Amino acid sequence: MKLTTKGRYAVTAILDVALRQKSGPISLADISSRQDISLSYLEQLFSKLKKHQLVKSVRGPGGGYLLGKSPVDINIAEIILAVNEPLDATRCRGKGNCRDGETCLTHHLWQDLSHQIQNFLTSITLANLLERSETKYISEKQDAQFEGQHSHKDTLILDRLL
């Protein structure tokens, strides 16, 4: 699970579609100018997103992209995984230095941690983000789901954004 600007672009772009698709397909050119991401880069990203059925396309004038399924059924993890390559293999695969299991320990702990992050991102859907964008203050339900045991002092107030 990699978290880079690439995944962020993908999430941003698909959220842009989600927010506006009521009025029909959204063209990449529109997303490009709104989100300030180059058109060609968006083409690369949406090609992958489409391959994973996260979006569907409408060709021709007035065409563009629509969500491939309901926002409830699209989670953040799958968006990020869709645009990142097959998630490169474990470091030790094939190498001799993991034969006794001992040296694999931290390696697998990291993998485990990575799974936790992925689970976490899987638990957040596009619908959740849409909700947040329509909610002036974060609801308690969301809050609990997102934050676990931590202090809420840095919780984002979406008010100023809308």
Residues near DNA (CB under 7 A) are 2, 4-6, 9, 25-29, 37-41, 43-44, 46-47, 50, 57-65, 84-85, 88
Helices 39-51 and 76-83 pack at an angle, to 10 degrees, of 110
Q: Which residue in the block uniquely carries the two structure tokens 């676990």?
A: 148
Residue 125 carries which DSSP code? B
Tell me if 159 contacts a second copy by CB under 8 A: no
Closer Cβ to a second copy, 66 or 124, answer by number: 124
Site residues for a second copy, 56-85, by CB under 8 A, read 76
| Near a second copy by CB under 8 A: residue from 108, 135, 136, 137 | 108
Tokens representing 136? 């002036």
What is the phi/psi pair of residue 73, to 5°? Answer: -100, 5
Q: Which does 61 bind (CB under 5 to 8 A by kind): DNA, a second copy, none?
A: DNA
CA gyration radius, the chain: 19
Closer Cβ to DNA, 22 or 150, answer by number: 22
Distance, CA of 78 to chain centre = 6
Name the nearest CA neighbour of 53 among 39, 73, 37, 35: 73
* 90 in Cβ contact with 111 (< 8 Å): yes
* 81 in Cβ contact with 49 (< 8 Å): no
Amino acid letter for position 129: L
What is the closest distance, in whole angstroms, from the C-beta atom of residue 68 to a second copy in the complex? 18
Q: x/- site string to a second copy, residues 4 to 43, per CB under 8 A?
A: x---x--xx--xx--x-------------xxxx-------
Residues in contact with a second copy by CB under 8 A are: 1-4, 8, 11-12, 15-16, 19, 33-36, 76, 91-92, 95, 97, 101, 103-117, 119-124, 129, 132-133, 145-150, 154, 156, 158, 160-162
